[in-house]
Structures are given as structure tokens and as C-alpha cells.
Amino acid sequence: MTAQTVTGAAVAGVGVLVCVVASIGALVARDLLDRLHFLAPVTSLGVPLIGLGLAVDTGWHLTTMEILLTVGVVAVTGPVLAAATGRAAAEQRGLIPAESPE
């Protein structure tokens, strides 16, 4: 087992741990907006760490670029979806006006 594999596995392991803890937190949270907060660690930390670990283990390869692109898509789209869901929840509760800003 090379140092590259051990490093990649360690980084990916931390990412897996972040995803598991955040998912259980989202399941335990009672309020919708509290649940949304638990999405951020998964999309912004957990998934990129797993992708980084896989990239380190794979080395410089075309697949590495594909893995990094995939986790990049998740990291960019995750906060967008969380913001849109939060806005829909706030509209539903009457906290903000229903018409969207345009």
C-alpha cells in the first residue's frame, strides 16, 4: 500500500464521516430550515473531500478530471438548491412575499 493510497483513503474517509454525521443530523433535526443547514457540510465539505481522496489515489489521469468535475458540480449546485428550498420554505411560512424578485 503506497503513501498515495493511504493519503487518499484518509481524506476520503474524513469526507465519508462528514457525510454520515451530517445526514444523521438532518434526520434528527425537527425543523425544515434546521435540516437545510445539514446539507451544507455534505455538499461543501464531505463530497469534495471524497473526490479529493479519490483524485489523490487515482493520480494524474483523465478520470481524475472527471471526478473533480463531478464533485465540482455538486459543490456549486448544492448551495443553490439549499437557497432555493429555503426561499420556498420561507414563502410557505409567510416570512417573505410570495412573488420572486426579478
Partner 1 sequence: MSFWPIASLVLMVGALAPAVGLGLRGGPLDRLVGLQLSGVVLVPVLLLLAHGYAQSAYVMVALVLAVLSFAGVLVFLRLLETRR
The residues that touch partner 1, with contacts defined as CB under 8 A, are: 9, 12-13, 15-16, 19-20, 22-24, 26-27, 32, 35-36, 39, 42-43, 46-47, 50-51, 54, 57-58, 61, 63, 66-67, 69-71, 73-74, 77-78, 80-82, 84-85, 88-89, 91-92, 98
Alpha helices by DSSP H, listed for 42-97, are 47-58, 62-92
Query: How many CA atoms does the CB half-sphere of 16 hold within 13 Å?
Result: 8
Question: What does the buried/exposed string (b/e) look like for 68-77 if buried means 16 or more CB atoms within 10 Å of the residue's CB?
Answer: beebeebeee
CB of 76 to partner 1, least distance (A): 9
CB of 11 to partner 1, least distance (A): 11
CB of 89 to partner 1, least distance (A): 5
Do residues 86 and 34 make contact, with C-beta atoms less than 8 angstroms apart?
no
